Amino acid sequence: MDILIDVMIFIISSFVIIKTADELVEASSRIAKSFGLNEFIIGLTIVAVGTSLPEMAASVTAVILGLPGIAVGNVIGSNITNILLVIGAVTFLMPLSTNWEQKRRDSILMLAITLIASIFLFTGNLLDRIEGIILMIFFPLSVYFILKQNHLYDDIQKKIVLMDWIIVIISLIFLIASSSLFVGSAKNIATYFSLSETVIGMTLVALSTSLPELVSAMMAALKKKAALAVGDIVGSNLFNISMVLGLSAAINPITIESSIYFMEIPLMILSAIILVYFIKKGKIPKWIGAVFIIGYLLFIAKSIGLI
């Protein structure tokens, strides 16, 4: 009976996530236009941070409960999922055109922070509090640098859109709440089928907490707002690797399992490099979306021991 309740919660929370993500993308885009801000910046900040809060909640809770495998697995798995599954699915649905001049600094910062965090993870089998605080500092500095260097405004037409701000806030609340229910039910389902802590962190928890990014990015792409979709993922990965992993380590130093050195961390780095490369080229073609999706499926299959 308990498993049936969890399945019901899983399905209902999925529906709520999809609906609230749609409202979030629409309201954020209207806010961007009313203030003259370009949509990439909105995606990088409001939407990216908002949709990454489930990752933070899951990882911080896991660290407090003494489950470091879930905390680290969630961050690494979410960043892999964001690129291979989210960008892959969006690109397969609709090839994305990108503006390298606009996204150069943002994308390079995302890659640089990913490499720095990976070095921390590789050294000493422990992510300590100092390293966690260093990672946390990177995010506000990165956002400040991006906002300072980017062309923030298109047509300056300031206008107070109170209802849109209310929609954004309510959508974020429902998005986070429904994602939390989704994570809880997914974990219970995984436990019912005897999956390990590490597998849960890398797969179901990571997929669950990345669902807002997936839905938001796909909704943005369907509405012909590719800049918002790419900005969301770049911003989310920045937030995950710096704030989520950093705060988790700052709360409680995290012991790193050596098993993730051989596939998960290299895959996180490789996927980030490939994404930056195609953003630089100015277009992410449909066939790359297919390759990303296949890569993600292979990653999941390997993680749960199917191959």
pLDDT tens digits for range 16-61: 876 777 777 678 777 777 766 666 666 566 666 666 777 777 788 7
Q: For residue 32, tell me if it sits in a domain.
A: no
Question: Shortest CA distance to 235 belongs to which of 146, 134, 170?
Answer: 146
- In angstroms, the CA 95 to CA 222 distance is 11
Q: If DSSP codes are grouped into helix, strand and coil, which group holds residue 115?
A: helix
Residue with tokens 């710096």: 242
Q: For residue 269, tell me if it sits in a domain.
A: yes
CATH code of residue 114: 1.20.1420.30
Q: For residue 92, tell me if it sits in a domain.
A: yes
Q: In this model, does residue 227 exceed pLDDT 70?
A: no
Mean pLDDT along residues 1-26 = 78
Could you tell me which residue, 305 or 101, shows the higher pLDDT? 305
How far from chain centre, in Å, is Cα 281? Answer: 23
Backbone φ, ψ for residue 283 (5° rounding):
-155, 135
Burial class of residue 161, CB neighbours in 10 A (0-12, 13-18, 19+): middle
Mean pLDDT taken over the chain: 80
The number of domains in the chain is: 1
Which letter does DSSP use for residue 38 in this model? -
Q: In this model, does residue 268 exceed pLDDT 80?
A: yes
Q: How many residues does the chain have?
A: 307
Q: If DSSP codes are grouped into helix, strand and coil, which group holds residue 97?
A: strand
Residue 254, token pair as written in the block: 């995290």
Q: In this model, does residue 156 exceed pLDDT 50?
A: no
Tell me the range of 92-96, 107-111, 210-214, 287-291 where mean pLDDT is highest. Answer: 287-291
Q: For residue 4, tell me if it sits in a domain.
A: no
- Cβ(42)–Cβ(27) under 8 Å? no
- Cβ(197)–Cβ(69) under 8 Å? yes
Question: Shortest CA distance to 288 belongs to which of 122, 127, 94, 118?
Answer: 94
What is the extent of the structural domain holding 200?
A: 39-151+196-303
The 10 Å Cβ neighbour count of residue 166 is 11
The 10 Å Cβ neighbour count of residue 58 is 29
- pLDDT, tens only, 192-226: 877 777 777 788 778 877 877 787 777 777 777 76
Q: For residue 276, tell me if it sits in a domain.
A: yes
Q: What is the percent of the chain with per-residue pLDDT over 90, rounded to a whole number? A: 22
Q: Tally helices (H) and strands (E) across the chain.
A: 14, 4
How far from chain centre, in Å, is Cα 115? Answer: 17
The 10 Å Cβ neighbour count of residue 269 is 17
Q: For residue 45, tell me if it sits in a domain.
A: yes
Question: 37 has which bridge partners?
Answer: 153
Q: For residue 20, tell me if it sits in a domain.
A: no
Q: For residue 127, tell me if it sits in a domain.
A: yes
Q: If DSSP codes are grouped into helix, strand and coil, which group holds residue 283?
A: strand
Q: What is the full DSSP assignment across 180-249?
A: HHHHHHHHHHHHHTT--HHHIIIIIIHHHHHHHHHHHHHHHHHTT-HHHHHHHHHHHHHHIIIIIHHHHH
Beta strands in the chain (DSSP E): 96-97, 126-127, 254-255, 283-284
